Structure 1
Amino acid sequence: MFERLMERKRFIISLGIYFVLLCYSYYFYFYIFQDYTYQVGYALNLNFFKLIEAIIFTILLGLVYFYYDINKSIYLTYSFILYNLLFVPLSVFYWMSDNARPYFYMVVISFLILEGIFLFYRGFAKRERRYRSNDLYVYLLALTLFLFFAINIYAYIKYGHSLYYLLNLEKVYDIRFKARAVIPTYLKYILQWSALVVIPTSIAYFAKIRRYYLIVIPLIVQALIFTINGSKFYLFSLIINLFVFLIYSEKLMYYMLPALNLFITSVLLLKNNFIMSVGIRRAFFVPQSLSFVYYDFFTKHPKLYLSSSILKRFIKNIYKIDSPFIIGRYVYHEPQMSANVNYIANAYSHIGFVGIIIFTILLALVLLGFEYFSENNRNRKYIVLISFSSFLALVNSSLLTTLKTHGLLIALFMSILFLKSFRE
């Protein structure tokens, strides 16, 4: 009981520090370090009424994580991560740039729905559930990992580049554009699923059977995949994935906020242009700026109505391109720019506010899938390792893209295989 009280106290203090650090880092990076006073998208128009709103809803939505133990729920862990990486930075950006109030409240409602569905499930779900392992699942899991690894090696032999790019991340754009042109679409999906789901699953498998030395195999394959298409997200997401897995395994999810505070403080103290660009601008504020840009554009222009999704055969896309390229072309005047945005803003670009509600419910159902199969299972911690990289894409990608391209559905499938492959 005492430990739980200390966790709650730590959560409140850390949340307050996190909010203040984000406010300061926004001001410091854009208006002192880079002097971006006149750059479009990052205005400094402090609105203290909106500050009050931001604080109220940050506290209100944080009450669920204050009351319930995050460490005992995959659903709550993932919604907590979205709260920290999406909602709190958006609240800071909202009041410091004096941005659109209607969209901010749409995001608030989205998180209320996400948390409300958890509370509903919590109230009615049966707690006791037992699973038995089956050799069929073990063989199926091993076969799946082997097939993906074989395809990855084939792709590297045919399309791979030198490991030199691992030490020169700023030059990966040279191979990224080449990869877009020459790699077949089906192989792009397989590489994405491998990097975000299959590699973490193999690490989880070797860790579970305590063959830790074999973990070097998926790490090497991950490096090879990176040299094929130059996606830095593969490298950074795996590092973040392992970090989240470790703190979840040790029931330290409440230390996530102190860790974020330490990270932001370190980045601010280093004052390195590249590190600050990635650690402050890209990680926290580019997604929020793009969210309000999406809202502003699709409030004034026709919405997509899922015409760039699996329904594109039945609905005409008047723009003839997907929403990230629409924003790149018509807002930033860069036709080749892909302005990816989080699942909430993307949902608005398709069906407006109703789309936000629909896609939030769909996301909740996916999280309930992870929750249902992992509840009361001692191997639950490995599900975070298997699925977190694909889940993290929601901060910068649409829900449908995350489910398909980034492999969140594959992650759910692999999680079920993993849980059924081992006895409790």
Structure 2
Amino acid sequence: MMLLERLRIRKAYIFNLAIYFILLCYSYYFYFYIYQDYTYQVGYSLSLNYFKLIEAIVFTVSLGALYLYYDISDSIYLTYSFILYVLLFVPFTVFYWMSNNYRQYFYMVVTAFLILELFFIAYKYFFSTKREKNTRFNYEYILLFVFAVFLIVNIFAYLKYGHSLYYLINLDEVYNIRYESREKIPTYFKYILQWSALVVIPTSIAYITKIKKYYLLIIPLTVQLLIFTINGSKFYLFSLLINLFVFLIYSGGLMNFMLPALNLFITFVLLWKNNFVMSVGIRRAFFVPQSLSFVYYEFFKSHPKLYLSSSFLKRFVENIYSLDSPFIISRYVYHEPKMSANVNFIANAYSHLGFIGIVLFAIILALILLAFEYFSENNVNRKFVVLISFSSFLALVNSSLLTTLKTHGLLIAMIMSVLFLKSFRD
């Protein structure tokens, strides 16, 4: 019976992956060339190359085969790499063949995803079935201490820089406080608030859920709202909702339903034909990251690269642009110096070190995911790692790896995940 169920799931996966690819192709054509939103048509050419379509299908299927063979819901590594595959790689292949874009860069991106998958296969073959060793040290005390420190700092930040909860029901006016926060709040406070909203508060929710003291949830939820009123970032509100949603899907073993859900979402957006919904649900969600990715490649293949001069090596390497890559693209390509053209971790890696950078950062990301996998494997509390780290991880779709580790708190998420898993050994 289990074998038949597994075969049914695999057939459904193949079917839904094919529908997803077709829907993305139709969405690109419909939005930019039937619906014709001329506001955003620049940079989204329609130049169909059917040989590149074959390439797109071959690599979509071959790299997607990993998630056909393994159960996604049994692995943090597979869950996160699958999300990148679905949200980044498949739309990337669609954009590649429909806009007849650079083949060299296409194979660079294929290489990055291949590295991610090969590292997982190597881990399962050589290092899997790790078991937790018994220890007398109580990590729960450290976890509670971290909660207390961040709670105190967040309350202090709200008393010093916070605004009225009025903005929670008037989201269109948050830009007033967003500009003010950029001027007033020190950089180190911004990091703390980001780590709190994206990592520490989700960890505290995981802790409270684990000990089943649900009435205590009012504390982290209130703090999250207060943090929002400090800098007006809507992402703090919506990221927590997305976090909880993905956590429920993963904990219920329903990751295989992600593709059908995306197919329903795209179908709904196409049928609704609302300007704003289509712009966000099709253009922004699936094709802006891909367009920017090729723009980065086109610019930095003919201009000097950054060589990590805007990272921790800035003291040793001169940045000839005096800008980070998102602002370089905004200024010299889009002629909007105040805009920040954020892009995914692969294109950002190319802007620093070219193809070597893509390989290097793909390996680093694979090692990070292996760390999550190593500490969570065979642990019954593995599902809570998703709740703790997903908001930080999702930033990779529109941010560099180093920025995600530092600013978006992925490194903090790894530490908090380890503390949580070691605090509870059921």
TM-score normalised to structure 2 length: 0.96
Q: Indicate the residue corresponding to 2:51 in structure 1.
A: 49
SS of 1:119's partner is: helix
Amino acid at match of 1:85: L
1:399 aligns with 401
- 1:126 deviates by 4.0
CA distance in 2, matches of 1:19, 1:166: 37
2:117 aligned residue = 115
Q: 1:209 aligns with which of 202, 208, 211?
A: 211
2:254 and 2:369 mapped to 1: Cα distance? Answer: 20
Aligned to 1:91: 93
Name the structure 1 match of 2:73: 71
Q: Does 1:289 align with 2:291?
A: yes
**Within 5 A, what are the aligned runs for 1:233-312?**
233-312=235-314
Which residues of 2 match residues 142-157 of structure 1 at below 5 A?
142-157=144-159
2:342 is equivalent to residue 340 of structure 1:
yes
Is the Cα contact below 8 Å between 2:326 and 2:340 reproduced in 1?
yes
Residue identity in the other structure for 1:7: I
Determine if the alignment matches structure 1 residue 158 to structure 2 residue 166: no
2:102 aligned residue: 100
Change in 2 beyond 3 A, CA 1:164/1:114: same
Q: How big is the shift at 1:146? A: 1.7
**CA separation of 1:416/1:3 partners in 2, compared to 1, >3 Å: closer, same or farther?**
same
Query: Counterpart of 1:374 in structure 2: which amino acid?
Result: S
Q: Which 10-residue stretch deviates more, 310-319 or 213-222?
A: 213-222
Residue in 1 that maps onto 2:5: 3
Structure 2 counterpart of 1:418, from 397, 413, 420:
420
- Is the contact between residue 131 and residue 420 of structure 1 (CA under 8 Å) also seen in structure 2? no
Distance 1:222 1:204 in 2: 14
- Cα shift at 1:141: 0.4
Question: Which residue identity lines up with residue 191 of structure 1 in the other structure?
Answer: L
Deviation at 1:8, TM superposition (A): 0.9
List alignment gaps of at least 5 residues for structure 1: none
- Between stretches 241-250 and 145-154, larger displacement belongs to 145-154
Distance in 1, matches of 2:234 and 2:34, equals 27
For 1:12, the equivalent position in structure 2 comes to 14
Deviations 1:63-111 (A, max 9, x none): 1001111111111111001000110111111112121111111000100
> What is the aligned-residue identity percentage?
74
Q: Which moved more, 1:37-46 or 1:290-299?
A: 37-46
Indicate how the Cα distance of structure 1 residues 28 and 159 shifts in structure 2: closer, same or farther if over 3 A, else same: farther
Deviation at residue 421 of structure 1 after TM alignment = 0.5
Aligned-CA RMSD value: 1.6
> Partner of 1:372 in structure 2?
374
Q: Is the 8 A contact 1:305 1:350 kept in 2?
A: yes
Q: Report how many residues are paired.
A: 424
Q: Return structure 1 stretches of 4+ with deviation > 6 angstroms.
A: none
CA distance in 1, matches of 2:102, 2:282: 22
How far 1:391 moved relative to its partner? 0.4
Q: Is the 8 A contact 2:327 2:338 kept in 1?
A: yes
Q: Which amino acid aligns with 2:90?
A: V
Instruction: Give the drift of 1:344.
Output: 0.2
Letter aligned with residue 247 of structure 1? I
Counterpart pick for 2:318 among 316, 319, 326: 316
CA distance in 1, matches of 2:188, 2:53: 46
Cα deviation code 1:124-163 (max 9, x no counterpart): 0141402447563111101111211221222222222233
Shift of 1:199: 1.2
Would the alpha carbon gap of residues 175 and 273 (structure 1) be closer, same or farther in structure 2, given more than 3 Å must change? farther
The one-letter code sitting in structure 2 at the alignment partner of 1:94 is Y
CA contact (8 A) 1:54 1:95 kept: yes
| 2: CA distance, partners of 1:238 / 1:130 | 30
Letter in 1 for 2:245: F
Give, in angstroms, the shift of residue 394 of structure 1: 0.3
2:142 to 134, 140, 143: 140
How many Å separate the matches in 1 of 2:40 and 2:423? 56
For 1:150, give the aligned amino acid: I
Q: TM-score, normalised by structure 1?
A: 0.96
- Structure 2 distance, partners of 1:267, 1:220, is 33
Contact 1:86-1:395 at 8 Å conserved across structures: yes
